[in-house]
Amino acid sequence: MAGISREPKREPKKEKKTAKKERGRAQIDEIMKYLFGVSKETLVNMLGSLFGQSFNADETEITQTNAEFVDESFDVTRGDLFYALTERSKSYHLHIELQTRADGHMAIRLLEYDIHKAAELLRLSGGGTARYVLPKSMVIHVEASERIPDSYEYELVDVKADGTEETLHRTVPVLKYWELTGDELIARQLYPLLPLQVFMQRGKLKRYAKESGTAAKREVVEEIKEIAAKIIISAKELTERGRMSAGDDDRIITALDRLVKYLNVQYEFGDKLNEEVETVIESVFTKLRREGVEEGKREGKREGKKAGVEENRKATAEKMILKNRPIAEIIEFSELSESKIKKLAKKLSKELVVN
C-alpha cells in the first residue's frame, strides 16, 4: 500500500553464515584449480609425481577434460580435475579431487565421478562393447584430520546366479598435504602446491581473529609474511633454474595473494594482514630485482676482465707471429690454443714457423 514503508527483507543470520561458507568453499576450490593451470612441463612433472609415473614432458600430450556430468534428469555431478595424457601411444586418464577438510562420503563420491568419466570415455570412443575403464584417481587433503585415511578403499561385488561373487577391490591414494614441508614439495616437483602452505595457518587465523592487538595475533601475521616471502623466493629461483617455465612463478604468487585475501575475508582477521602481505610481496620483488641488477654488474665486470685478458693474449700472439717465432713458443707465451693461433696467422697472411 502507498505511504507504508517496508523494511528490506533480511536474510536470517544462520542463512547468511551458510551462504558465506558456500561462497568461501567455491573461492578456495577456484584458487586450488587455478594452481593447476601452470605450463605443460610443470603440470606433467607434477602429475607424474602425484601418480608415481615418470612422464617425459617433451613426449607427452596432455588435455584437461570434462569434469561436469549431466544425467537424464539434468542433474549435474561435478568433479574437480580430470586429465588425459598420451605418451608413446599409451593413454592415461587421471582424476584429482582437492579437499580442504575431511569428507565421510569421499569414497562413494570418487566412485560416482569415476563411473561418470568411464561412461563418457566409452561414449566418445564409439566402442560397441560396454567396457568401462575407470580413471586413475587420487585425493589431495589439505587440512589435517585424524579422520582422513591413507587411502580410500572399496569393493565392487558382482553376485552370480549360483551365489558366487566376483569382487573388484579398488584403492584410491591420498596425499596428506599438511605432512609436507615446502622443501619436500619442491623435491617432489609439486611446485604449484606451494601457496597452500599459507592455508595451514587457517586454524590460528580463526582462533585469534576476534582478538585486538595481542602478541599472538601479531605472531600469526608475522608467520604468514615469512611463509609468503619463502614461497615467492622459491618460485622465482625455480624459474631462474629452469625447473619451472616462465609465468608459472607469477601464477603461484597471484594464487598466494588471493589465498591470503580469501582467508582474511573468511575470518575477518583485519585489513593489516592484506596490507602487510602485499608489502612483503613488493619488498621481495624489489630485493630480487636489486640482486639481479648487482649480479648483472658483477657478471659484466667478470666478462669484461675475461675479454681484456683474451685481447692481451691475442696481441702477444700477433706480435710473435709477425716476428716469425715458432708456434710452440707462441703457445707458451700467449697461452692461446694452436687453433686460435692458426686463425690469427691466417688473418695476418703469415705462415707459421713450426720449429
Average model confidence (pLDDT) across the chain? 83
User: Among residues 65, 105, 110, which one has the least CA distance to residue 86?
Assistant: 65
- Taking only the tens place, the pLDDT of each residue in 240-269 is 888 998 889 989 988 988 888 888 887 777
User: Among residues 174, 192, 49, 48, which one has the least CA distance to residue 110?
Assistant: 174
Angle between helices 248-267 and 13-35 (to 10 degrees): 170
- Taking only the tens place, the pLDDT of each residue in 175-233 is 999 999 999 999 999 999 999 998 888 888 888 777 776 788 788 888 888 888 899 88
pLDDT attached to residue 304: 52
pLDDT attached to residue 7: 46
Stretch 164-172: mean pLDDT, rounded? 92
What is the signed CA dihedral for 41, 46, 49, 52, rounded to 10 degrees?
-80
Confidence grade of residue 17 (pLDDT, cut at 50, 70, 90): low
pLDDT attached to residue 188: 95
Q: CA–CA separation, 191 vs 202, rounded Å?
A: 21
**Higher pLDDT among residues 52 and 319, named by residue:** 52
Say which range, 96-105, 208-217, 316-325, has the weakest mean pLDDT: 208-217
Percent of the chain whose pLDDT exceeds 70: 85
Give the distance from CA 71 to its chain's centroid: 33
pLDDT attached to residue 26: 59
Confidence grade of residue 16 (pLDDT, cut at 50, 70, 90): low
Buried b (16+ CB within 10 A) or exposed e, 269-294: bbeebbebbeebbeebeeeeeeeeee
Confidence grade of residue 92 (pLDDT, cut at 50, 70, 90): very high
pTM above 0.75, yes or no: no
**Higher pLDDT among residues 248 and 9, named by residue:** 248
What is the signed CA dihedral for 176, 181, 182, 185, rounded to 10 degrees?
-50
Radius of gyration of the chain (CA): 31
Q: Is the pLDDT of residue 6 over 50?
A: no
Confidence grade of residue 106 (pLDDT, cut at 50, 70, 90): very high
Cell numbers at 126, concatenated:
564409439
Q: Is the pLDDT of residue 27 over 60?
A: yes
Percent of the chain whose pLDDT exceeds 90: 37
Stretch 163-176: mean pLDDT, rounded? 93
- Taking only the tens place, the pLDDT of each residue in 39-71 is 999 999 999 999 999 899 989 999 999 999 998
Cell numbers at 277, concatenated:
602481505
Give the distance from CA 65 to its chain's centroid: 19
pLDDT attached to residue 306: 59
